[in-house]
């Protein structure tokens, strides 16, 4: 289930706090609309919204264009008072980039080591079976099939470098934002 609870603070999950009057006219993105839909879904699953209310608000959430459009949909579901959460800043830190590249390099190395290891083990088993009758009686070379599959994964990992690094960077940014929120006063 979602991280939101009736007593939780969903405001920190938005990239900008919809309660902040300074951002009420700013256009929102799909990620923030997804957070809003999550809040509505949690309220529906808790029984705080009827099916009709949920459907109506979910439709409005999909059509919401500004942060100001979010408040009317949430004001009777979660507390709207309190300090506005500071905007979440995108991490442009070179440390995040280095950590993402390092994680990719580790994954690439591990995938190649795994492919070689699996291929060697299967080839050893095949050789043992082929030599079991006292002479060399090669059976169907099935380790080739295993090797093709194992190395295809390694090649795919190597070829999708940028995609993996971006995905890892996004994960590290989410982790950093979560840590920042824990360190905020009143958290």
Task: Pick the more confident residue, 181 or 113.
Answer: 113
Instruction: Give the model's pLDDT for residue 121.
Output: 95
Q: What is the DSSP letter of 51?
A: H
pTM over 0.75: no
Look at the block and give the residue holding tokens 């705080």.
48
Tokens of 35: 């957070």
Average pLDDT score, the chain: 82
Contact call for residues 36 and 64 (beta carbons, < 8 A): yes
Cα pseudo-dihedral 143, 149, 154, 156, rounded to 10: 160
Domain extent listing, the chain: 10-74, 94-183
Query: 1 falls in which pLDDT band (50, 70, 90)?
Result: very low
> pLDDT-derived band of residue 185, with 50, 70 and 90 as boundaries?
low
Count of other CB atoms within 10 angstroms of residue 41:
18
N-term to C-term CA, the chain: 22
Q: Residue 117 above 90 pLDDT?
A: yes
pLDDT at residue 58 is higher than 50: yes
Band (174; pLDDT cuts 50, 70, 90): confident
b/e map 116-134, b = 16+ CB within 10 Å: eebbeebbeebeeeeeeee
């Amino acid at each position: 289930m979602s991280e939101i609870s009736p007593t939780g603070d969903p405001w920190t999950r938005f990239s900008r706090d919809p309660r902040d009057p300074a951002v009420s006219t700013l256009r929102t993105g799909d990620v923030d609309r997804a957070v809003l839909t999550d809040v509505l879904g949690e309220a529906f699953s808790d029984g705080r919204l009827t099916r009709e209310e949920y459907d109506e608000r979910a439709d409005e959430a999909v059509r919401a264009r500004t942060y100001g459009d979010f408040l009317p949909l949430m004001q009777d579901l979660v507390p709207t008072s309190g300090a506005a959460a500071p905007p979440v800043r995108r991490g442009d830190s070179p440390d995040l980039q280095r950590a993402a590249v390092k994680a990719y390099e580790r994954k690439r190395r591990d995938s190649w080591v795994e492919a070689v290891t699996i291929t060697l083990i299967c080839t050893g088993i095949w050789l043992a079976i082929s030599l079991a009758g006292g002479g060399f009686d090669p059976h169907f070379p099935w380790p080739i099939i295993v090797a093709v599959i194992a190395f295809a994964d390694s090649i795919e990992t190597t070829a999708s470098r940028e995609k993996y690094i971006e995905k890892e960077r996004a994960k590290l940014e989410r982790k950093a934002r979560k840590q920042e929120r824990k360190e905020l006063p009143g958290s």
